[in-house]
């Protein structure tokens, strides 16, 4: 019996999960997405090509790997169809090749979920979450409110009736907002996409994944978003609506906690956040702008500028604890190539105290980061392909992080391409 390895983000998302899942996928028989939905944008680059995946697991480009969209994911059929159509145009057809399966118990995002998301954000004005407007929150609300529609429902004879019943509820809620909308076009696209997703095999993800383990096959669970966006432990209410942590892999696929193997925690050599909410190490100055430009920090899903700041060790320690991280993966080291000095937040000053953990309230009382200065390496690392060629000062930075975080850094990423990845130790 094998175990499920997990790869997830330790910051506020966009750490580079897609790239590393793609790099690791040849070692796995199954890649399984366990939560979130098309709010995710996972970027993969190889052979001079670039792909952004929203719902599809990032193992899709590996010939021998199966891919599962798990029960914890919320699926927008229109977006999933578009993703698959675009892949097909680029010469990849995972459906025809039988490389993609979907959990029957995954919930469906309806066009009215998106409208509710937009109406709610519009009403919140300057206090808005900064949602990706993909209908994520309202869909998970219907799931926990026991009103939702699931992939498996699409094959039931009364699917349309169930759909209409839920949409009536949504229209009733929308009538309380000052919000104009036109549903007809989206609805037509939705039903066309539903017919399409019926052609993708539906499975019970709990039996499917455990079946792989029983056969001794290797499974990697792919997270979306990041730990600091977790519904329970993130910077609430500026979070997403699912559990982005290792626990979410158990509920989002149907695997027991004792089936979890390695937990790969992925982080950027600095930190970013997109959307609203607290960000203690944010740099609202030309240094932050420099990180944004050099790191191309613009959202893969929405194109929004990402907020940038220095690495935050109290936040990383918290994420490591919550997830049981066994190995770290450091991304985008190359973005810091030009800096004379970089900084790491080791503590916060909060309410007159120096602390090394994330306090409950970081919204009304913003923690002030205590920063440690670290020498930059001032070397182009994008072509480094041997551990021996890693500049000494970058190696020192990694050693410093390992000492602080008490977890080894297993991989180092020095550019967006698949090949710009080094295995350390
Ligand atoms: P994900 O959501 O965690 O999969 O990450 P995103 O794809 O949203 O954002 C990561 C961005 O950084 C993408 O544009 C990647 O192509 C890019 N990227 C990944 N690793 C590296 C790296 O090591 N260096 C640089 N410069 N870019 C990287
Ligand atoms: P990946 O998987 C970064 C953010 C949004 C917003 C908040 C809630 O690419 O790392 P939602 O649409 O979920 O209701 O938005 O969460 N957010 C992300 N930020 N990367 C993501 O995914 C994100 N998915 C959601 O910007 O602040
Ligand atoms: Mg992303």
Per-residue pLDDT band for 405 (boundaries 50, 70, 90) equals very high
Residue 425 has pLDDT above 80, yes or no: no
CB 24 within 8 A of CB 30: no
How does pLDDT run across 40-82, given as a tens digit for each residue? Answer: 999 999 999 999 999 999 999 999 999 999 999 999 999 999 9
Residue 35 belongs to domain with CATH number: 3.40.440.10
- The mean per-residue pLDDT over the stretch 171-176 comes to 97
- Write down the mean pLDDT value for the chain: 97
Q: Among the three residues 180, 198, 216, which one is the final residue of a domain in this structure?
A: 198
- DSSP assignment string, 72-123: TBEE-HHHHHHHHHHHHHTT--TTTTT-EEEETTPEEPPHHHHHHHHHHHHH
Does 356 show up as a binding residue in the annotation?
Answer: no
Based on the fold, state whether residues 280 and 411 are members of the same structural domain. Answer: yes
Probe ligand 2: pick from 227, 274, 298, max atoms within 8 Å of CB?
Answer: 274
Q: Give the C-alpha distances (Å, rounded to integers) separating 134 from 115, 171, 255, 283, 304.
A: 9, 17, 27, 28, 14
- Give Cα 33 distance to the centre of its chain: 10
Domain extent, residue 214, equals 4-103+204-264
Based on the fold, state whether residues 336 and 397 are members of the same structural domain. Answer: yes
Based on the fold, state whether residues 190 and 218 are members of the same structural domain. Answer: no
Based on the fold, state whether residues 282 and 395 are members of the same structural domain. Answer: yes
Residue 300 has pLDDT above 90, yes or no: no
Based on the fold, state whether residues 60 and 158 are members of the same structural domain. Answer: no
What is the number of domains present in the chain? 3
Question: What does the alpha-carbon distance between residue 167 and residue 139 come to, in Å, rounded to a whole number?
Answer: 12
Based on the fold, state whether residues 228 and 334 are members of the same structural domain. Answer: no
How does pLDDT run across 342-373, given as a tens digit for each residue? Answer: 999 999 999 999 999 999 989 889 999 999 99
- Which residue among the candidates 5, 22, 42, 259 is catalytic per the annotation? 42
pTM over cut 0.95: yes
Question: What does the alpha-carbon distance between residue 41 and residue 35 come to, in Å, rounded to a whole number?
Answer: 13
Q: Give the C-alpha distances (Å, rounded to integers) separating 425 from 167, 177, 317, 387, 408.
A: 54, 56, 21, 9, 9
Based on the fold, state whether residues 403 and 308 are members of the same structural domain. Answer: yes
Quick one: DSSP state of residue 228?
G
Q: Among the three residues 214, 235, 264, which one is the final residue of a domain in this structure?
A: 264
99 is catalytic: no
Residue 127, SS3? Answer: helix
Residue 222, SS3? Answer: strand
Cβ of 17 less than 6 Å from ligand 1: yes
CB 164 within 8 A of CB 145: no
Based on the fold, state whether residues 142 and 37 are members of the same structural domain. Answer: no
Residue 386 belongs to domain with CATH number: 3.90.170.10
Cβ of 13 less than 6 Å from ligand 2: yes
Based on the fold, state whether residues 127 and 248 are members of the same structural domain. Answer: no
How does pLDDT run across 135-164, given as a tens digit for each residue? Answer: 999 999 999 999 999 999 999 999 999 999
Per-residue pLDDT band for 211 (boundaries 50, 70, 90) equals very high
Per-residue pLDDT band for 257 (boundaries 50, 70, 90) equals very high
How many angstroms separate the alpha carbon of residue 131 from the centre of ligand 2?
7
Cβ of 278 less than 6 Å from ligand 2: no
Does 265 show up as a binding residue in the annotation?
Answer: no
Closest CA to 4 of 68, 80, 56: 68
How does pLDDT run across 98-108, given as a tens digit for each residue? Answer: 999 999 999 99
Based on the fold, state whether residues 144 and 281 are members of the same structural domain. Answer: no
Residue 190 belongs to domain with CATH number: 1.10.300.10
Based on the fold, state whether residues 133 and 223 are members of the same structural domain. Answer: no
How many angstroms separate the alpha carbon of residue 380 from the centre of ligand 2?
31
Based on the fold, state whether residues 219 and 70 are members of the same structural domain. Answer: yes
Residues 6 or more apart whose CB falls under 8 angstroms from that of 405 comprise: 313, 316, 317, 320, 328
């Amino acid at each position: 019996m094998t175990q499920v390895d997990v790869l997830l983000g330790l910051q506020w998302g966009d750490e580079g999960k897609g790239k590393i899942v793609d790099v690791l996928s040849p070692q796995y028989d199954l890649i399984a997405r366990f939560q979130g939905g098309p709010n995710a944008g996972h970027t993969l680059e190889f052979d001079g090509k670039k792909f952004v995946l929203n719902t599809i697991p990032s193992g899709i480009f590996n010939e021998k790997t199966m891919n599962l969209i798990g029960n914890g994911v919320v699926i927008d059929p229109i977006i999933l169809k578009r993703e698959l159509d675009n892949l097909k145009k680029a010469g990849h057809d995972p459906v025809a090749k039988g490389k993609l399966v979907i959990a029957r118990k995954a919930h469906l995002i309806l066009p009215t979920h998106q409208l509710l998301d937009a109406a709610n954000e519009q009403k919140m004005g300057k206090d808005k979450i900064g949602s990706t407007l993909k209908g994520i929150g309202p869909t998970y609300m219907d799931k926990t409110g026991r009103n939702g529609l699931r992939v498996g429902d699409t094959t039931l004879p009364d699917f349309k009736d169930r759909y209409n019943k839920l949409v009536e509820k949504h229209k009733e809620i929308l009538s309380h907002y000052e919000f104009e909308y036109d549903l007809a076009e989206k609805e037509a696209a939705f039903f066309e996409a539903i017919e399409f997703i019926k052609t993708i095999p539906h499975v019970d993800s709990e039996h499917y994944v455990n079946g792989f383990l029983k056969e001794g096959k290797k499974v990697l669970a792919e997270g979306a978003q990041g730990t600091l966006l977790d519904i329970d432990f993130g910077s609430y209410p500026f979070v997403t609506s699912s559990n982005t942590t290792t626990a979410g892999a158990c509920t989002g696929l149907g695997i027991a906690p004792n089936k979890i193997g390695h937990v790969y925690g992925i982080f950027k050599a600095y930190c970013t956040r997109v959307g609203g909410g607290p960000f203690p190490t944010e740099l609202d100055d030309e240094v932050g702008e420099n990180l944004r430009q050099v790191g191309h920090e613009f959202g893969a899903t929405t194109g929004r500028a990402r907020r940038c700041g220095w690495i935050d060790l109290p936040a990383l320690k918290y994420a490591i604890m919550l997830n049981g991280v066994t190995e770290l993966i450091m991304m985008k080291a190359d973005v810091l190539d030009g800096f004379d000095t970089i900084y790491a937040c080791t503590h916060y000053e909060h309410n007159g105290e120096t602390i090394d953990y994330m306090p409950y309230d970081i919204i009304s009382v913003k923690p002030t980061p205590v920063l440690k200065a670290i020498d930059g390496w001032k070397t182009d690392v994008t072509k480094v392909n041997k551990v021996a060629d890693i500049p000494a000062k970058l190696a020192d930075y990694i050693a410093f992080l390992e000492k602080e975080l008490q977890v080894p850094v297993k991989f180092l990423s020095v550019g967006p391409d698949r090949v710009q990845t080094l295995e350390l130790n």
